[in-house]
């Protein structure tokens, strides 16, 4: 049986493994999400991939009190997974394949496509629900869909998307979209094009805060050359590509999480750069800037919690021989 063009599906207690010729996905039922994503043996996840709703507050946020108004559970914490839905090819599992059901599977289970969806409940009161679905084909490409289901009675969201924390620093990234740092109410001067950035720079604000968003992007390539595997001495660059589907996406790529930025009152208090934090957002609140003493963001740039928000994107590796070195 030729299984080179199929996914090797591993049903384990508490885990679902998807393996191919040069890729590996590991989904954790216990942690409720994608725990590991490897291409050509290179790990891309330091922590599980989860939805995100919070960004570091800005001077303008603090000036108009937004940080207090929207602090009701939107801060980044591990979400509560309340349901996992699994479909392998045409087989939908009414019950997750955990022990003793795993006994019916061998180590030679293969499929052409696997779909797995996690439903999360936010820590807000009342709680809202978010669904994050993965559809992985035999080539190893992943279509990710994140959907926030609107809930009345909640404060406005700062952002909605997903967060990927990578084990090591990116050496460079390249994207198709608007030039420079842009936000919904700060992108009129952005110029469309293909842009290259060395490293993962931090804007030297006096007080660390939200920064580095890139609006209306269609493609993002992130390059690294190191892993956390001490036995891996290969320093050749390797890359992950994020692509839009029907709609452009928004993203930030920084060496810090939102909480790390907020915990520093001056830039010298930030920790050493060790990881790469990618936030891919389907919806972003404006940053304002009319003044920093109480003026709110203009109405059209708010994110009411009773509306639905969605993000759809494609994740895949980029082959080394197609990378432009030294750009």
Q: Is residue 23 a contact partner of residue 6, using CB atoms and an 8 Å limit?
A: no
Q: Is residue 154 a contact partner of residue 129, using CB atoms and an 8 Å limit?
A: no
Residue 312 confidence (pLDDT): 98
Torsion sign (Cα): 261, 262, 264, 265: positive
Residue 17 confidence (pLDDT): 98
Question: Cα separation of 201 and 208, whole Å?
Answer: 13
Q: Is residue 171 a contact partner of residue 84, using CB atoms and an 8 Å limit?
A: no
Residue 292 confidence (pLDDT): 67
Torsion sign (Cα): 128, 121, 23, 41: positive
Question: Cα separation of 8 and 320, whole Å?
Answer: 24
Q: Is residue 149 a contact partner of residue 130, using CB atoms and an 8 Å limit?
A: yes
Q: Is residue 42 a contact partner of residue 227, using CB atoms and an 8 Å limit?
A: yes
Residue 21 lies in a domain: no
Give the residue carrying structure tokens 């699994």: 86
257 CB-near residues (< 8 Å, 6+ apart):
76, 163, 165, 277
Residue 308 lies in a domain: yes
Residue 223 lies in a domain: yes
Give how many domains the chain has, as a whole number. 1
Residue 263 lies in a domain: yes
Residue 283 confidence (pLDDT): 98
Listed residue (183, 128, 134) closest to 301, CA to CA: 183
* N- to C-terminal Cα separation, the chain: 44
CATH number at residue 234: 2.70.98.10
Q: What are the φ/ψ torsions at residue 65 (nearest 5 degrees)?
A: 80, 15
Residue 232 lies in a domain: yes
| 222, burial (CB in 10 Å: exposed 0-12, middle 13-18, buried 19+) | buried
**Residues in the chain, total:** 327
Residue 73 lies in a domain: yes
Residue 225 lies in a domain: yes
Question: Cα separation of 219 and 249, whole Å?
Answer: 8
Residue 79 lies in a domain: yes
Q: Is residue 66 a contact partner of residue 296, using CB atoms and an 8 Å limit?
A: yes
Q: Where are the alpha helices (DSSP H) in the chain?
A: 59-64, 66-69, 258-262
Whether the upstream peptide bond of residue 224 has omega within 30° of 0, thus cis, is: no
Residue 76 confidence (pLDDT): 62
- pTM for this structure? 0.94
Residue 326 confidence (pLDDT): 40
Relative to beta strand 159-166, strand 276-284 is antiparallel
User: What averages of pLDDT result for each successive group of 10 residues across the chain (327 residues)?
Assistant: 80 95 96 97 97 92 84 74 97 93 92 98 92 97 98 95 98 97 95 97 93 97 94 91 96 96 93 97 92 83 97 89 45
Domain extent at residue 198: 50-84+115-322
């Amino acid at each position: 049986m030729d299984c080179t063009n199929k996914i090797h599906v591993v049903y384990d207690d508490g885990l679902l493994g998807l393996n191919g010729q040069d890729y590996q996905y590991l989904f954790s039922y216990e942690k409720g999400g994608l725990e590991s994503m490897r291409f050509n043996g290179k790990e891309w996840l330091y922590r599980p991939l989860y939805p995100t709703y919070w960004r570091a507050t800005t001077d303008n946020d603090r000036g108009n009190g937004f940080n207090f108004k929207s602090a009701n559970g939107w801060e980044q914490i591990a979400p509560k997974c309340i349901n996992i839905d699994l479909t392998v090819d045409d087989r939908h599992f009414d019950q997750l394949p955990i022990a003793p059901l795993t006994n019916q599977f061998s180590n030679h289970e293969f499929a052409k496509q696997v779909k797995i969806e996690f439903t999360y409940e936010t820590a807000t009161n009342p709680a809202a629900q978010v669904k994050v679905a993965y559809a992985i084909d035999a080539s190893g490409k992943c279509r990710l869909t994140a959907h926030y289901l609107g809930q009345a009675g909640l404060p406005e969201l700062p952002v909605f998307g997903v967060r990927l924390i990578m084990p090591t620093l990116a050496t460079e990234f390249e994207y198709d979209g608007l030039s420079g740092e842009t936000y919904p109410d700060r992108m009129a001067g952005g110029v469309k094009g293909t842009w290259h950035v060395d490293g993962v720079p931090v804007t030297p604000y006096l007080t660390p805060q939200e920064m580095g968003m890139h609006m209306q992007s269609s493609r993002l390539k992130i390059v690294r050359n190191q892993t956390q595997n001490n036995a891996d001495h290969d320093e050749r660059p390797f890359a992950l590509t994020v692509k839009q589907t029907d709609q452009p996406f928004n993203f930030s790529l920084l060496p810090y999480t939102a909480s790390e930025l907020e915990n520093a009152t001056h830039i010298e208090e930030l920790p050493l750069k060790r990881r790469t934090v990618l936030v891919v957002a389907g919806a972003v609140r404006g940053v304002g800037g009319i003044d920093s003493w109480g003026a709110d963001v203009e109405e059209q740039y708010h994110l009411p919690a009773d509306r639905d928000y969605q993000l759809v994107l494609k994740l895949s590796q980029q082959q080394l021989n197609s990378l432009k070195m030294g750009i």
